[in-house]
Amino acid sequence: MKSADEKEKLYLSLQRLTENTIEDIVNRSVNHKNMNNHNDLNINNKYKVLFVCLGNICRSPAAQGIFEHFVRENGMEDRIEADSAGTYGGHRGELPDRRMRTAALYRGFALTHRSRPVSSLDFLDFDLVIAMDDQNYEDLMHLAPSVEATHKIRRMASYLKNSRMTYIPDPYYMGSEGFGMVLDLLEDACKNLFDEIKEGLQ
Ligand code: 4NP
């Protein structure tokens, strides 16, 4: 049997835990309402971008690596963060496809991300969720836990300035030229996305 003193301590720590949890939920929901503005940071005080493709071993980890390069180049690691995920979880834990790693490294981007499936909880953590193609976009729309969360979803191709492509093609079944072409598109889109976010944060 616990003493009255111990019970009192237990009660107080449970009360603190409950208050912290409620505060966290309120903060997350406030962040949810404001998620369309690039100057509204989430609870970690960082603007967070999630790149999503099918397997999370070709396009989205490459987009993440390229985007992170722009973040580092501009010394904004404490303000902007990126991650990537796949709508299909079959490659969970794997490094990016060797062909993509080789092609990216040739351009100076070392890809070290490990594949993971996207989750509906990602919509709470991230400010933007970026789909590589139309199927990824549809899958994310279905996964989003609320109508507000769907407003975080964007198409990667909407950031292209040097191409009229409306999606980032899947290079998985292409030859090595396919990987180079996809990296050209991703470099263009990442640069413009980064510039837009940076401007919004100033
Ligand atoms: P990603 O490419 O979606 O750009 O990562 C693919 C990787 C793996 C598969 C399909 C696409 N796959 O079918 O295993």
DSSP string, 81-136: EEEEEESS-TTTTPPSPHHHHHHHHHTT--------B--TTHHHH-SEEEESSHHH
Q: Yes or no: is domain 34-201 CATH 3.40.50.2300? A: yes
Q: What is the pLDDT of residues 98-140, one digit of tens each?
A: 999 999 999 999 999 999 999 999 999 999 999 999 999 999 9
- Whether 127 is a known active-site residue: answer no
Closest atom of ligand 1 to CA, residue 115: 5
Report CA(57)–ligand 1 centroid distance (Å): 6
> 166: pLDDT confidence band, cut at 50, 70 and 90?
very high
Protein residue closest via CA to atom 7 of ligand 1:
55
- Whether 190 is a known active-site residue: answer no
The predicted pLDDT at position 126 comes to 98
Closest atom of ligand 1 to CA, residue 168: 4
Report CA(184)–ligand 1 centroid distance (Å): 18
Break the chain into its structural domains and give their ranges: 34-201
Answer whether residue 13 shows pLDDT above 80.
no
Q: What is the pLDDT of residues 184-195, one digit of tens each?
A: 999 999 999 999
Q: Which residue has the higher pLDDT, 144 or 38?
A: 144
* Phi, psi angles (nearest 5°) of residue 50: -115, 120
Question: Which of 51, 52, 53, 54 best tests ligand 1's pocket when mutated (most atoms within 8 Å of CB)?
Answer: 54
The pTM for the full model equals 0.82
- Whether 59 is a known active-site residue: answer yes
